[in-house]
Every structure is written in structure tokens, then in C-alpha cells.
Amino acid sequence: MNDKLWGGRFSEETNLDVEKFTSSLIDDVHLFKADILATRAHLHQLREKAIVTHEEAEQLENVLEQLVIEKKNGTFILDEKLEDIHMNIEKYLTDKLGDTGKKIHTGRSRNDQVVTAFKLTILDGVDNVLLLLKELLVCLINKSEENKEVIMPGYTHLQKAQPIRASLYFLAYYEMFSRDLEKLKFFKSFLREVPLGAGALAGNPYGIDRFKVTEELNMKQPTANSLDSVADRDYVLDVLYCLSSIMLHFSRLSEDMIIWSSEEFNFVKMSDAYTTGSSIMPQKKNPDVYELTRGKTGRVIGSLMGMITTLKALPMGYNRDLQEDKHLFFDAINTVEQVLKVNIGCLNTLTFNSELLAERINKGFLLATDVADYLVIKGMPFREAHSVVGKIVRYCEENKKDLIGLTYDEFKQFSDLFCEDIIEKLNVTSSVDSRDSYGGTSLKSIETQIENARLKMIG
């Protein structure tokens, strides 16, 4: 005989290797709180439909409360033979109340029970990430405010391109992470659809009012199709995509900071509290937070790819493959929460080497586009101006000169449109403040972006 709660049809005990292989306790122990909430909502329907008496319902409520206390105190011991947290909870009820405990699973399947608890748990995780994202966005706004006067090279192809205010950089990441926040908020609506009452796949015959269950759980609406209710994992994909997007953005930021904190660049200085040293080289100060963030990005993307692969070609209805969803999700969201917390601290303590940047910003050819713009304003077609300035840059390279530092006579060799005012125009502050289009790097535009970002956070 098989002593499992579902063992009536079986004549042999489950193989121990099979028990270990099929157990999901290591992951779905995280569903305990949500399963208790959903079980109570289900119990209230069983009472309303007279499937359990008021006295039995009260007994079940009391035992559930006792179980919550034991779980909190660490005295509730999980039995690995019972496969998952849900069977452990049901076994606890039957051990305490006998036949009354056995009534709790009437009108529900583990298929709709599990996905309900999982959705509730994902919602909690998403809300935690949203709070951390808001904290990160505030951090990025503050860094933008602090560094309005810092002018640095902007890059394309990792080659110096044009000067920008450091604020523009932080505000770019504000926009990226702000989109992540909005996407997560959007996908929450699908998480708030309740599968409980869908049964194994076909619904239930006990008159369970799924709308009342939904209301009690403070959710939006019941899922509309019982088969889709248990087969769907799109909501896991949605959240894993958002978590992957967050990590992609962090990975790009990390790459910048790893480069910028190197001795060769030396643009930024990281706090000692957020760096580590070497076991052999005393001089080292390593950006391990950013390197690990970059590395963990692959881990979270791996969870997304794993879930996509699990769902590929899966037949309709519940299949045990779907048990993998929890392992993939919990690993990803725990990683993202860690990354958010440590990176917020890292960014808050990050400083620019502003004096060094001020010295370096005039080196090279960052103002080449400004010289071309000067010629355009004087009447030269842009493509011709581009060619002229290209020749000036080649002249500077051949003569080991910077663009700022050329004389008026040298400029005049390349075009008669150059006037003596070209020397005054070659100024990085004037350059950044000339880029005053909406969203640009001028001080006025930066202040507008900061103000809009702060208003958005309030709203």
C-alpha cells in the first residue's frame, strides 16, 4: 500500500529516488504564507456551501492559526515524503482533525492551489522589487543633482564623442530603470487574476464562488478559463523578462563603472566599503560589486531562458515540468533584490574625480562636432563642414596638438569662414549648454529632466 494522500490507486510505496526527484519542498516552502491565505479563502467557500459545518470551519481555522505559529517558531517539521508544502499543510490538518481535516481539499486540485499560492508569492516579490527600484530611482536623481557641474566625455563605440554633463549619464539610467518599474507595474495586473476554483483543469462542481474568493484575497478577478488557469505560466515569463531587463541595465552600468574606476580612466572613485582587495597584491582595490552584478546578469537571463524552454512544446494542461517554475523564479528574484540593495549603496557612495575630468576634458577632439556646427552656422553645408573638420583633426594628430589650443591662423588654413570668435567657441561648458533641445545635456535641460523625474516619483 502507498501511504501518500493520493496513494489509494497505488499498491507499492514510492521509490526513494523518485521521492527526492519529485520533491519541490526546497522551493515551494516559500509559498507557505500564500497557501495559508488561499486555503482560508477556500475554506470560507466550503463553509458557505455547507460542505463543512460552521463548527468544522472554526476547527480548521484554529488549526491553521496554530500551524502558522508553529511555522514561525520553527517547530513545524516538513516531511519530505509529502512532496511539497501544500501536502504538508493538508497532512497537518488531517493529523490534528482527522476526517474534518480531509475535507479541506474538496473542490480544489493542487493544480489550482499551487498556482494561486505562487501568484500571491510572486506579487509579494514584485512589490519588494518595486520598492527597491523606487529607491534606486531616487538615488539616480540625487546623483544627477549632485553632479550637474561635472562635465565628462560622452562615448559612442567606447570612443570619445562629445562632452556631456555627468547628470545626463545618471538620468539615462533613470529612464532605463523607470521603464523597468513601469513594466513590472503593468504585469502585476495578470498576477492578480486568481486560478483557485479552476480545479485540476475543468472547474469544480461544488458551486464555489470564485469571485468571492478573489475578493477575499484582495485580487482583481478570477482567471477566465479553467484549463488556461492551470496551464498558464506567462505571468512567470513576464516577471522574469522584467527582472532580466533590470539586470541588463545594471550590467551595462557595471561595465562603465569597472572601466571608469580603473587607473587608466580614473573618472570615478568607489567607496572602500563597496570594494575588495587582493590576497597577494596590496595595492589593489577591486570593483567586485560591479563584476558580480555583471556576472549575475547571466544567471537571471538563464532563468528566463530556462522558463521559455520549459514551456516550449508543452502540451495543454498541467504537466509536472511546470514545477521548475518556482526554482527559476526564486533564484532570479532573490538575485535581483540582492543586486538592487548593494548597487544602491554603491552608487550613493560613488564620487567623480571632477578635477581630473576638468583637466582631461580639453584634451583630444571632443569639440570637433562643435567646430562643424560653427561652420554650418556660418553658411557651409554640414557634409562639407564634416570633411573640413576631419582634415583639422588629422592635422592635429600629425602635429600632436589638441583641438583646443589651435590658433586662429591654423583654423583659417582650412576655411575662410573661420573668424577669430572660433577660439571663444572652443569651450566645453559652452558646448554642453548649446545642446539645449528637450532631453539634451545643457544645464537648463538637465534641470528640467531632474524636475520631471522628481514629479514622476511623487506621482
Q: Which of 157, 167, 189, 327 is catalytic?
A: 157
Q: Which of 189, 262, 271, 278 is catalytic?
A: 278
Amino acid at 306: G
Cross-strand partners of 156: 159
Looking at 209-353, list the stretches that DSSP marks H as alpha helix, in order from N- to C-terminal side.
Answer: 210-216, 226-231, 234-260, 288-311, 324-348
Grid coordinates of 14:
514510492
Q: How far apart are CA 89 and CA 195, in angstroms?
A: 19
DSSP string, 289-305: HHHHHHHHHHHHHHHHH
How many other C-beta atoms lie within 10 A of the C-beta of residue 226? Answer: 21
Residues 6+ apart with CB under 8 A from 95: 101
The phi, psi pair for 162, rounded to 5°, reads: -145, 155
Calculate the alpha carbon distances from 323 to 30, 39, 110 in Å: 14, 20, 12
Q: How far apart are CA 169 and CA 92, in angstroms?
A: 56
User: Is 157 an active-site residue?
Assistant: yes
How many other C-beta atoms lie within 10 A of the C-beta of residue 180? Answer: 24
User: Is 278 an active-site residue?
Assistant: yes
Q: How far apart are CA 396 and CA 84, in angstroms?
A: 71
Cross-strand partners of 268: 352
Q: Hey, which residues are catalytic here?
A: 157, 278
